[in-house]
Amino acid sequence: MATCFWLRSCGARRLGSTFPGCRLHPRAGGLVPAPGPAPGPAQLRGYAGGLPGLSAALLRTDSFVGGRWLPAAATFPVQDPASGAALGMVADCGVSEARAAVRAAYEAFCSWREVSAKERSSLLRKWYNLMIQNKDDLARIITAESGKPLKEAHGEILYSAFFLEWFSEEARRVYGDIIYTPAKDKRALVLKQPVGVAAVITPWNFPSAMITRKVGAALAAGCTVVVKPAEDTPFSALALAELASQAGIPPGVYNVIPCSRKNAKEVGEAICTDPLVSKISFTGSTTTGKILLHHAANSVKRVSMELGGLAPFIVFDSANVDQAVAGALASKFRNTGQTCVCSNRFLVQRGIHDAFVKAFAEAMKKNLHVGNGFEEGTTQGPLINEKAVEKVEKQVNDAVSKGATIVTGGKRHHLGKNFFEPTLLSNVTQDMLCTHEETFGPLAPVIKFDTEEEAIAIANATDVGLAGYFYSQDPAQIWRVAEQLEVGMVGVNEGLISSVECPFGGVKQSGLGREGSKYGIDEYLELKYVCYGGL
Ligand code: NAP
């Protein structure tokens, strides 16, 4: 334990000298590149040129540690999921790079925590401004690496940048408390202090926003981060690093260590068990979240877990069908069904069932256009990889074998191995896989129900609870159902609920903690009680 205390003491700055090629920054006290050529496009390694017209400065392939672009001993390929075209070879970091990144983040933390909230705020704001200036290039990177339609990618970049803007504002609104205790000669103070270094692990489905939602809050609070992006989508994380550097975020405050899926387990373990790391912030599947929770338990670290969902979408008899169909399209088919808050199960009351299914099928045929995300008019891009397609196909086959009816779609799309047709199933029952396994694809299964109690029971019959949606025009029912759904977020007559101002997170096995909103920064702050006596 003594070693850990020493390691975690910001006074132990001599640690920096062990990081090869770096020296301590005179102002920030963190690691900066040793004197040498300035990083620039000439240092780009392995980029295959699959994204014509993009600013080369944003297309980074090395890791970003201590303010430096560093290659790794190996590289891994990144592909466009729509065409299969190679986009580039990216540094495949391993345990030693992960440890070095933690060390750099820790060194930087010792200074970053002392930077005034106003200055942290202004640096985050500069980062935000640069994201907005580069929004078109950033969106194209998202579409290239994730397949997301370009219009949605633009939406993600704004959503992502808004987290930096929001937390640049929140940075200056961290307040403590003074408490009057029964003792007349004492006052109790509550200070809020940054937690420390945060290990940030993110998924591919929002390659930019899932990073800034965490990092904006962390940096605003005075924490530093080591980001491990998903294997499929490292370019967005690295582009953010380039812009962080241009914004003047000090070296070591934002570090990115891309790695292949082969290395994810050991890199994840290295950063999540390192004694210099105080916080684990993860967005991804519940399965991976549980592994990381074990790491956190062994070294007693703070955690934020944004995990999987199985969102119910309930349509009651009193609902407005057109409104419900518009919400169903938005909540089910955004990012081709690959968001954690996508509706997974449609529960429709008997009286409105046939009208809803008919109108939903017509709206799907009219509004959903499968294609390459770069093509004008595409609303449904490819799934992230063939494994994802296999999962949807398996769920459809399972449902049909147990009596479900295909209303529209139902099979792979002719455009390529990663494409699947937007699919609507009716006559779905609760014994089918698609009702209890997160789909993460363009499949909408409809279950018919009779009573409100039955709908609530079906909706809550799962061990996860992220988002839930329902459509009703009955005010009393709206209150009842909103309160009874076992989820962290509810859309009432609304299919799009995410916003930087509102708390995002789940209950049950959908996670721990909240991101965004005025609550998000608390995940990166410790409360310290100071008893001030002798007054
Ligand atoms: P995932 O397999 O859990 O991967 C997420 C991240 O964890 C990736 O960076 C992945 O690296 C990494 N990872 C995988 N195994 C690891 C391990 N043993 N140790 C450390 N890191 C590890 O999830 P996904 O399939 O990419 O993403 C989809 C899931 O994320 C869905 O369940 C979805 O609901 C959830 N999600 C939740 C939210 C939310 O806010 N609640 C938001 C978006 C997505 P590799 O890429 O190299 O495998």
- Residue-level pLDDT at 56: 83
Distance 284 CA to ligand 1 centre (A): 3
User: Cα(32)–Cα(30) distance, rounded to whole angstroms?
Assistant: 7
Q: What is the 3-state secondary structure (H, E, C) of 266-284?
A: HHHHHHHHCCCEEEEEEEC
Distance 26 CA to ligand 1 centre (A): 38
Question: What 8-state DSSP symbol labels residue 412?
Answer: B
Sign of CA pseudo-dihedral 477, 483, 485, 489? positive
Tell me if residue 165 is catalytic. Answer: no
From 306, 438, 486, 515, the catalytic residue: 306
- Residue-level pLDDT at 11: 52
* pLDDT tens, position by position, 149-170: 999 999 999 999 999 999 999 9
The CA-atom distances, in angstroms, between 217 and each of 114, 176, 214, 243, 501 are 16, 17, 5, 17, 12
Specify the ligand 1 atom closest to the Cα of 206.
43
Which residue's alpha carbon is nearest to atom 39 within ligand 1? Answer: 306
Give every CB contact of residue 328 below 8 A, 6+ residues apart in sequence. 313, 315, 343, 346, 360, 363, 444, 495
Phi and psi, residue 349, nearest 5°:
-70, 145
Decide which of 205 and 13 is more confident. 205
Q: At residue 148, does pLDDT exceed 50?
A: yes
* pLDDT tens, position by position, 487-509: 999 999 999 999 999 999 999 99
Specify the ligand 1 atom closest to the Cα of 263.
47
* pLDDT tens, position by position, 350-369: 999 999 999 999 999 999 99
Specify the ligand 1 atom closest to the Cα of 510.
41
Q: At residue 38, does pLDDT exceed 50?
A: no
- Residue-level pLDDT at 50: 52
Which residue's alpha carbon is nearest to atom 43 within ligand 1? Answer: 340
- Residue-level pLDDT at 9: 60
The CA-atom distances, in angstroms, between 272 and each of 278, 286, 291 are 9, 16, 10
- Pair type for strands 22-24 and 31-33: antiparallel
Phi and psi, residue 79, nearest 5°:
-120, 155
| Cβ 254 vs Cβ 164: under 8 Å | no
The CA-atom distances, in angstroms, between 99 and each of 251, 271, 402 are 16, 7, 50
Which residue's alpha carbon is nearest to atom 11 within ligand 1? Answer: 230
Specify the ligand 1 atom closest to the Cα of 306.
41
Mean pLDDT, residues 405-417? 97
Distance 48 CA to ligand 1 centre (A): 26
Which residue's alpha carbon is nearest to atom 18 within ligand 1? Answer: 265
* pLDDT tens, position by position, 87-114: 999 999 999 999 999 999 999 999 999 9
- Residue-level pLDDT at 25: 30
The neighbour count for residue 113, using CB atoms within 10 Å, is: 17
Which residue's alpha carbon is nearest to atom 40 within ligand 1? Answer: 306
Pocket residues: Cβ below 6 A from ligand 1: 201-206, 210, 228, 230-231, 261, 264-265, 268, 283-285, 288, 291, 306-309, 340, 438, 440, 466, 506, 511
- Among 285, 305, 517, say which to mutate for ligand 1: greatest number of ligand atoms within 8 Å of CB: 285
Distance 529 CA to ligand 1 centre (A): 36
Give the distance from CA 139 to its chain's centroid. 16
Distance 294 CA to ligand 1 centre (A): 16
- Residue-level pLDDT at 57: 85
Distance 62 CA to ligand 1 centre (A): 22
* pLDDT tens, position by position, 124-143: 999 999 999 999 999 999 99
Distance 203 CA to ligand 1 centre (A): 5
Specify the ligand 1 atom closest to the Cα of 288.
3
- Among 201, 208, 272, 332, say which to mutate for ligand 1: greatest number of ligand atoms within 8 Å of CB: 201
> For 108, what's the count of Cα atoms within 13 Å in the CB-facing half-sphere?
30
Which residue's alpha carbon is nearest to atom 35 within ligand 1? Answer: 284
Give every CB contact of residue 114 below 8 A, 6+ residues apart in sequence. none
pLDDT over 90 percentage in the chain: 89
Distance 236 CA to ligand 1 centre (A): 16
Categorize the per-residue pLDDT at 176 as very low, low, confident or very high, splitting at 50, 70 and 90.
Answer: very high
Sign of CA pseudo-dihedral 220, 55, 143, 497? positive
